[in-house]
């Protein structure tokens, strides 16, 4: 089977649907790869790079659309591109099916089997094909980098000989993939990060990334079965707007990420919010392409308002990195569809059936709903029990278990004592009790105390080494067996000490930023 990658005709699209690395992967999947001349030049991939990876360079888009079995694209095709496509072609690209009904009809009329990569359902199995998450991850990171560039000073706080620099304050609105990526990047750069989302379930994710979760007093959850946020009540929106205005006057950078598939982006930062922001503040609007979350955003532009606030309506796509991630997503989907050897369009598959927006001359949109966030099960009724009774029962069970263990050890020692020498039994009894008690002590140590425990075991190992050295002295009274045992003890204790220091060092590094 032949896979073709055409050039993107949109002047603002810098990505390409394959990179030299993904070309090699496509070949391993059994496909012949054809790519249009200079298709990857905007993403810093030359024709030579693709040829060295094994792809064949063709001159025109007509050659790609007319001879390929599968076409990989980034942007949705223009109508003139659809005219070049042959019947039965499988095309994978962004399509935005909810907003492009005329395009879907044209593809269906040409009997093109079109897969909308932006319609991949957000289920666990499809995470590796989720292009929206891949691109949102880049956008969130890049939003912080460009926001800090236009902000013009440190994000982290510093105390220098020249004076003290306060850390910047960053507000991230929306804690999806892009929002969490922005939180992580801003936090790693040392900023004070705050985040807001209507979905209460993301509070732990926000806090785990090092940000403060902001909320309003009204008890209302914006989570839905689809994984996206729902439209909130008027009361909630009013409280939300008041919160944003208060934060706008305080923070230095605002990053907005809220988008609704198939609909204009909600307006979250209003004109009066921008008016109270400090001169030099920055708004990075990741929803600019769908209307913007800020009322003053201009799609594709970066400009400064009269009161000195910079509003960013476009981002560098990081085309090389974005093309690599997008290409990986496409390869994962082709893997799931059987590669070249067992290629199949399975309309019973949960991913393919929902992403295949046109199939065999028919429009397959909108798809059947597929809930992502399962409803929380109702808690089973539990009869409350007195905590004192529970604790007493637990202590009694542990005490009984301990007695049984000691009795078993005693019986074994008694049986051994019938045959072994008395001196051996004396030392062996001390050894067994030491092992048993040591195991009980270590087993019950909290994980958070393992580093102090290493210090104690190192001290004990040091005593063992000293004792071993004393037993290896040049003395005729020492037997060869004693010398060998002492040497083994020194070796094992030394390994334990070195291992203790290594583990302690690694645990301490976990707490360093």
Q: Catalytic amino acids?
A: 122, 127, 130, 133, 228
DSSP conformational letter for 112: -
- Closest to 297 (Cα-Cα) out of 308, 279, 283: 283
Beta-sheet pairing, 113-116 with 356-359: antiparallel
Buried b (16+ CB within 10 A) or exposed e, 262-300: eeebbbbbeeebbeebeeebbbbbbbbebbbbbebbeee
CA dist 397 and 401 (Å) reads 6
Give the separation between CA 100 and CA 116, rounded to whole angstroms.
Answer: 11
Q: How many residues does the chain have?
A: 513
Q: Is 256 within 8 Å of 293 (Cβ atoms)?
A: yes
Tell me the CB-side half-sphere exposure of residue 167, using CA atoms within 13 A: 13
Question: Would you state the structure tokens that stand for residue 499, as one six-digit string?
Answer: 């291992």
Strands 356-359 and 282-285: unpaired
Q: How is residue 194 written in tokens?
A: 């705050």
Question: Treating both helix axes as pointing N-terminal to C-terminal, what angle do 131-151 and 177-188 enclose, rounded to 10 degrees?
Answer: 40
Helices (H), 152-202: 177-188
Measured CA to CA, the distance from residue 319 to residue 380 in angstroms comes to 51
């Amino acid at each position: 089977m032949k896979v073709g990658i055409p050039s993107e005709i949109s002047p603002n699209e810098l990505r390409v649907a394959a990179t030299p690395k993904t070309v090699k992967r496509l070949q391993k999947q059994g496909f012949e790869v054809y790519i249009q001349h200079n298709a990857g030049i905007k993403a810093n991939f030359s024709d030579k790079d693709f040829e060295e990876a094994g792809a064949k360079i063709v001159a025109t888009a007509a050659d790609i659309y007319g001879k390929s079995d599968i076409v990989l694209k980034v942007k949705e095709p223009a109508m003139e591109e659809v005219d070049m496509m042959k019947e039965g072609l499988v095309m994978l690209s962004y399509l935005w099916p909810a907003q492009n009904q005329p395009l879907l009809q044209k593809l269906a009329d040409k009997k093109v089997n079109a897969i909308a990569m932006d319609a991949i359902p957000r289920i666990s199995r499809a995470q590796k094909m989720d292009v929206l998450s891949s691109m949102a991850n880049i956008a969130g990171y890049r939003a912080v980098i460009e926001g800090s560039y236009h902000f013009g000073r440190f994000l982290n706080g510093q105390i220098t000989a020249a004076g003290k620099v306060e850390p910047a304050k960053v507000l991230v609105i929306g804690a999806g993939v892009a929002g969490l990526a922005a939180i992580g990047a801003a936090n790693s750069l040392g900023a004070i990060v705050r985040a807001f989302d209507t979905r209460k379930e993301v509070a732990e994710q926000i806090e785990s990334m090092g940000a403060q979760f902001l909320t309003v007093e009204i008890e209302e959850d914006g989570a839905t079965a689809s994984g996206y946020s729902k439209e909130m009540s008027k009361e909630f929106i009013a409280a939300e707007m008041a919160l944003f205005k208060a934060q706008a006057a305080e923070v230095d950078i605002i990053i907005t990420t809220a988008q609704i598939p198939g609909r204009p982006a909600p307006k979250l930062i209003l004109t009066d919010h921008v008016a109270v922001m400090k001169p030099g503040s920055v708004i990075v609007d990741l929803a600019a392409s769908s209307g913007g979350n800020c009322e003053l955003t201009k799609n594709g532009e970066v400009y400064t308002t009269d009161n000195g606030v910079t509003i960013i309506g476009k981002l560098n796509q990081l085309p090389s990195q974005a093309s690599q991630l997008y290409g990986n997503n496409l390869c994962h989907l082709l893997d799931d569809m059987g590669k070249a050897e067992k290629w199949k369009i399975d309309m019973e598959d949960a991913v393919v059936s929902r992403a295949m927006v046109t199939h065999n001359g028919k429009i397959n949109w909108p798809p059947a709903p597929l809930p992502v966030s399962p409803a929380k099960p109702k808690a089973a009724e539990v009869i409350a029990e007195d905590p004192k009774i529970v604790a007493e029962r637990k202590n009694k069970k542990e005490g009984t278990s301990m007695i049984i263990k000691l009795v078993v050890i005693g019986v074994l020692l008694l049986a051994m004592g019938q045959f072994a020498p008395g001196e051996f039994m004396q030392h062996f009894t001390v050894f067994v009790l030491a092992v048993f008690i040591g195991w009980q002590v270590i087993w019950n140590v909290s994980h958070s105390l393992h580093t102090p425990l290493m210090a104690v075991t190192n001290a004990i190992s040091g005593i063992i080494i000293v004792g071993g050295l004393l037993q290896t002295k040049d003395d005729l009274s020492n037997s060869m067996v004693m010398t060998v045992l002492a040497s083994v003890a020194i070796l094992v204790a030394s390994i334990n000490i070195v291992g203790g220091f290594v583990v302690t060092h690694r645990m301490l590094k976990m707490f360093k930023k």
